[in-house]
Structure 1
Amino acid sequence: MKTSSIHNSYIMSIGAGKNQLPLINAIKAYGYKVISCDNNPDAEGKYASDIFLNISSHDDKALVDRLQQLDIELVAVLTRSTGIPVQTCAKVAQAYKLPGMNVELSQTLIHKERLMVKCNQLGIPAPQLFTTEQLDNIPLPVFVKPAFTAVSHAAMSTCHDHEQLKTAIADASHVSVDGSVNVEEYLIGADVGSIDFVFNGEVHHVMTLGELSTGAPHFDGIGWYTPDSSLDSIIQATFSKFHQQLNVQHGFFQTAMKYDDVQKTAKIYEIHAEIGGDLVNDVFLPYVTDGYDIFENNISLSLNQLPKPCKGVTKPAMIIFKEKINHYALSISVPESVIKVDNDQYLIIEFDSQQALSQYLTCLTQQENISITNRDTSI
């Protein structure tokens, strides 16, 4: 890691809200100055940045115009914000000829309808996308979600009849930026995620995650866990299909999939290209990998340097968000024999083996509001 500032060289954070602070602090620790932007003139990251621009992270044109007026050397650009800021990040990188995801791919990833259309066309494992023009002909059940939103898990529903479907489409359309809605094949299986870097066209897998949720109908995320390593080959093969078919050359990707343990298949339903939140990158991932630093390695990637390899999961564990424990009144009984980290934001439970974690998950998911799979449904 670099430890001294590089004269007049800046790395940009697209966004300067509270969520961006870990990124801004990591850039400064790496040895670079920080320039950030935000629509909020009093954004938390403003005071940690060397230069702050009161410009929306959604307004790439105004941002590039203002940057070109400054006497600075911009060497990289990053974001932690989902949705349009990912596209802004790509457009700033393009304007300054910096390493970054190409703009067309960024526009595909932030729009779930475009992503599913592309996956269906190219044979990338993904749910079938149905048109909303003939609702009565759509085979049920289906999963409905807004196609274009900056709010995670908003207006998502499983629909078992056509009345539910009509209501779900209206609700999803209301929160979608452009009104577009995805009506997708209802996938059976466990929610898993793949975290990967792509550098010079080569994939560097970091880890595979399992997601805890509230289950049907809304599948609100309540935490994460380390799944059995036997999933890795299937998960990586699915991400590799996406990487090859779209000729991905550069980027950081957190890919959400449904893993069917009967068919032994994994299908992509969402891909995030920002350094996401949900306590994954700043808390859980470094905890279970003996300190692997996603922020430092994303900075390296943005400077066109090969990220360090991750040695993989060394601690079988799970993390549950305290906010969700309280909201859903979850009953979390922690065995005395395990290691736990308990603070205001989260509860981490570490086990001495993956088998012990799996057994605990089996008991935990007997509760109505805790699930890792939708296989045991009435449909």
Structure 2
Amino acid sequence: MKKIMILGASILQLPAIRKAKDMGLKTIVVDMDKNAIGFKEADVCLYISTIDIDSVVEAAKKYQIDGIITLASDMPMRTIARVAKELNIVGITEDTAFKATNKVSMRTCLKENDVPVPTFYRVKNEEEYKNAIRGFQSKLIVKPADNSGSRGVFLIEDIHDEAVIKYAYEYSRKYSRSGEIIVEDYMEGPEVSVETLSINGEVSVIAITDKLTTGAPRFVEMGHSEPSKLERGIQEQIRDVAKRAVKAIGIENGPSHTEIKVTKDGPKIVEIGARLGGDNITTSLVPLSTGVNMVECCIRIALGEKPDIEQKFHKSSAIRYFDTPVGILKDIEGIEEAKKLDGIKQISFTKNIGDKVGIILSSVDRIGFVIAQDETTEKAIKDCEEAIKRILITVEDK
């Protein structure tokens, strides 16, 4: 029996654990949280941090794993790269892992390879931050160099507002593991993500996903839908930029999730990850719209096998997240009625009755979502919106 190591045992990794077991593989799952939900279904549970590289390498050698993956999580990528190197199994290189998880290195690499990116500055301290601000004439984005899920992202709309400028620096730096942040041009235009799979250096675009965010100043994602509704010519440009970005940072085998803004000057890279897209994009939306099981594909690539990436059908899918008032979650009604609506495939909540519901500052603050499948993207979105209307969420003041 072949053995696959999965970094992470949270709900994000459940699709990988379940699919690996369906494939007859032995699952060796790593997470420092002993209560993580994935441990209930794993064959071997290892209570190790996914970013404790040396300990994970030691465990990988002990269990003589045949492959290693993670879903929708950036930081374990450096661990995966080291394990792949030490055990001589399929995986990204350490150089690629660094470029995929450090936004400064990522942008520098892309710029050097003529892949379009916004104007940006690397900032190590407050003095460099102030100097960087002077290089902009209009709106700009401040973000940590090494985090994800919209954590620490802030838009400065008035570059002369000293109070906002100071707040943005302190807010973003708080979420930076290294203390470094990035100051860059604010790109205006529709945002999409591109889901790709690379096999022996050949990059295949599986889907282009439209995004819906909270907008300024933090841009937390509140919905996704596919296939994209952008015109075909623009989509071809997006495909080209995404493929060039994947090759530039060196992803030879495995997935990539590339976020792109379509500006007046054409598509430009927001970020690129050497992993599957989160927010149920690649675990739910892609299979619902194309029939391609990207989780299984990633497992097969990690094992050195050839995956089936051929599109099985042409449908549409969408996800929409609940937007609720701030307070204490008291009650949720109408879920079963909403599940009976046409097109609805899943309704899930990530918070329980009695939990605190805060302002949506990052993706972890959202309380739940609805997923739908239909004949067109517009219909799938409408299905989600109709289901959300049927669900009554009661939130009381603290």
What range is the shorter-chain TM-score in? 0.7 to 0.9
Is 2:224–2:320's contact at 8 Å kept on the other side of the alignment?
A: yes
Structure 2 CA distance for partners of 1:325 and 1:347, relative to 1, 3 Å? farther
Quote the offset at 1:236 in angstroms: 1.1
Counterparts of 1:265-276 in structure 2 under 5 Å? 265-276=266-277
Is 2:297–2:309's contact at 8 Å kept on the other side of the alignment?
A: no
Secondary structure of the residue aligned to 2:245 is helix
Report what 1:253 is aligned to.
256
**Whole-Å separation in 2 of the counterparts to 1:254 and 1:137:** 32
Structure 2 CA distance for partners of 1:67 and 1:352, relative to 1, 3 Å? closer
Counterparts of 1:1-379 in structure 2 under 5 Å? 6=1, 9-68=2-61, 70=62, 72-80=63-71, 82-132=73-123, 133=128, 134-139=131-136, 140-149=138-147, 151-159=148-156, 160-162=158-160, 163=162, 164-226=164-226, 227-228=228-229, 230=232, 231-260=234-263, 262-263=264-265, 265-289=266-290, 291-311=291-311, 314-322=314-322, 324=323, 339-341=343-345, 343-344=347-348, 345-348=368-371, 352-353=375-376
TM-score (norm 2): 0.78
**Whole-Å separation in 2 of the counterparts to 1:145 and 1:251:** 27
TM-score (norm 1): 0.82
Structure 2 CA distance for partners of 1:248 and 1:79, relative to 1, 3 Å? closer
**Whole-Å separation in 2 of the counterparts to 1:32 and 1:63:** 19
Quote the offset at 1:109 in angstroms: 0.7
Equivalent residue letter for 1:127: P
Quote the offset at 1:108 in angstroms: 1.0
Secondary structure of the residue aligned to 1:208 is strand
User: CA RMSD, aligned part only?
Assistant: 2.7
- The alignment-based identity, stated in percent, is 23
Structure 1 unmatched runs, 5+: 1-5, 329-333, 365-379
**Whole-Å separation in 2 of the counterparts to 1:253 and 1:45:** 23
Structure 2 unmatched runs, 5+: 328-337, 349-367, 387-398
**Whole-Å separation in 2 of the counterparts to 1:81 and 1:193:** 13
Structure 2 CA distance for partners of 1:18 and 1:318, relative to 1, 3 Å? closer
Secondary structure of the residue aligned to 1:74 is coil
Structure 2 CA distance for partners of 1:340 and 1:16, relative to 1, 3 Å? closer
Q: Deviations over 1:220-247 (max 9, x none)?
A: 1001012136143111110122234344
> Once structures 1 and 2 are overlaid, which stretch shifts more, 300-309 or 51-60?
300-309
Q: Deviations over 1:143-194 (max 9, x none)?
A: 1111112x51112111122422332122111111111111011111111011
Equivalent residue letter for 1:219: F
Quote the offset at 1:326 in angstroms: 6.4
Runs of 4+ displaced beyond 3 Å: 243-248, 324-328, 337-342, 348-358
**Whole-Å separation in 2 of the counterparts to 1:78 and 1:37:** 11
